[in-house]
Chain A
Amino acid sequence: MAGKIKQIIDVIISQRSKGNPAVTQALKAKFALKGINPDGYSAASADDQAVIGKLTMLAKDLGVSL
């Protein structure tokens, strides 16, 4: 399976930024500083369970429900 990571990242960013470009950029930087490069994943990226686990935790920290 593929694409789950990008999908989760998109949901988190969309829910937190509500489409605001400045907040989107800040969130992307925040992801990278947390160790997940959001631009490094596409719809074709394999569903790495370790990364999905990290993103699930991150969503919880950010108050986002997946």
Chain B
Amino acid sequence: MKTAYSEKNSVDNIVKDIKDSFEGSDAKAVMFFASSSFDPQAVGRQMQEAFPEASVFGCTTAGEIVSGKMLKKSVVAMAFGPEVLESVKVVTINDLNANNAVENAMSEFEAFYKEPVMAMDHERYVGIILVDGLSMAEERVMDRIGDLTNVTFIGGSAGDDLQFKTTHVFADGKACTNAAVLALFKPKNGFDIIKTQSFSATDKLLKATEVNEDGREVLQFNGKPAAVAYAEARGVSVEDAAGSFMSNPVGLMIGGEPYVRSPQQIKDGGMVFYCKVKEGMELSVLESTDIVKDTRLAVEAKKLELGGISGISGIINFHCILRTLELEGKGQTEEYGSIFADIPTIGFSTYGEQYIGHVNQTSTMLVFKGSK
């Protein structure tokens, strides 16, 4: 498994750098994450042209990650050769609002693998999802995927370097918006998942008693205007409540682990989130812990579980932009990057992470196991 990156300032030079790095790799698939500062159509087209025999796919970002480094205004890529990948099928959902969009994507996987997605072995297959990060469609798409198959899909929402204007996903030489790219992998040596978020639950509970689900708004917690209930739980004034959002989001506790829902803003006394909250959900107010320490522990634990560094052949890290902003604020990006220095890794700063559902302020990582 090879990784490459380029910080050159033209698409031509970037694609040449990556092509040169992957020379002779016999890649079945090339996945890449590109800063939105580059012309997306040119990036998509030229990356596919550089690897005509491979399934080439990716998305735009709010920052990139490659083994040992966190980058800006770059393109990072990973080549999957036959030593790690038995097969891969990439499908684009061109219109996230289309009827049966997910069902049609699953049908394409079934036609390729000649097996119903419902019957696919969840230990032999794994899916990657990259989705327009401004579509607000992630929950709907993930929900439907989970209805139709037990195969794990993990991924991230595309970014646009905090411009919040347009994000793109790439496949088949095209750059698309209001779209998602799904890749169904059959890894040769198996895979594992890391989901890590740096929060602990407090004893403060907020039950969503009135929501506008489609708008990702909670109007009331515990029967009070959401902002008032949140501020009370935090022991701050409503005016100061937004100052707690980054370090004190809320989480749906499942098996003792938070599925983080991050507040975005206070609106008319309610709270807008970066993902949906269902009416009746009981959420814990969270307290932030140390991202670098927690991530290092999670990666080290996985290494140990898989028999040491040789047990991992590569990692794809879908890393929330809010985590990146916190690391930048604390001057810890170099330290964070170093966690992955000895593992072929690519990743990006996302506008949301996918694992079972849609989450925030989390890193969801796909770990490719090494050959025994």
Contacts and interface: CB of A to CB of B under 8 A. Distances in A.
B357 A30 contact: yes
Q: Interface size for chain A: under 10, 10 to 19, 20 to 34, or 35 or more residues?
A: 10 to 19
A30 B151 CA distance: 13
A1 interface: no
A28 B356 CA distance: 10
A35 interface: yes
Contacts of B127: none
B259 A29 contact: yes
Interface stretch (B46-54, B161-169, B278-286, B313-321): B278-286
Contacts of A33: 143, 252, 254, 259, 278, 356-357
A28 to B, nearest CB: 7
Contacts of B152: 26
Centre residue among A25, A26, A33 by max chain B CB count within 10 A: A33
Given A23-B122, A23-B150, A63-B147, A29 B278 contact: no
B269 interface: no
A61 B147 contact: yes
Contacts of B341: none
A32 B150 contact: no
Interface string A12-40: 00001100101101101110111101000
Given A23-B150, A61-B147, A29 B122 contact: no
B102 to A, nearest CB: 11
A28 B279 CA distance: 18
Given A23-B150, A26-B150, A28-B254, A34 B143 contact: yes
Nearest to B355: A29
A37 B252 CA distance: 10
A34 B169 CA distance: 27
Nearest to A51: B280
Nearest to B277: A35
B255 interface: yes
A35 to B, nearest CB: 3
Interface in B142-156: 143, 146-148, 150, 152
A2 interface: no
B294 to A, nearest CB: 20
B279 A29 contact: no
Contacts of A62: 147
A16 B150 contact: yes
Contacts of A28: 254-255
B304 interface: no
A23 B149 CA distance: 10
A46 B123 CA distance: 37
Contacts of B146: 26, 30
Contact of B281 (A20, A25, A35): A35
Nearest to B259: A33
B359 to A, nearest CB: 9
Given A16-B150, A26-B356, A63-B118, A35 B255 contact: no
A26 B279 CA distance: 21
Contacts of B143: 33-34
A61 to B, nearest CB: 4
Contact of A29 (B281, B282, B357): B357
Nearest to B253: A32
Given A28-B255, A29-B259, A33-B254, 7 more contacts: A23-B122, A26-B152, A28-B254, A29-B254, A32-B254, A33-B143, A35-B279
Interface of A: 16-17, 20, 22-23, 25-26, 28-30, 32-35, 37, 61-63
20 contacts: A22-B122, A22-B123, A26-B146, A26-B150, A26-B356, A29-B255, A29-B356, A29-B357, A30-B146, A32-B254, A32-B259, A34-B143, A34-B278, A35-B278, A35-B279, A35-B280, A37-B282, A61-B147, A62-B147, A63-B147
Name the 8 nearest CB pairs between A and B, nearest first. Answer: A35-B278, A33-B357, A61-B147, A29-B254, A29-B356, A32-B254, A30-B146, A23-B150
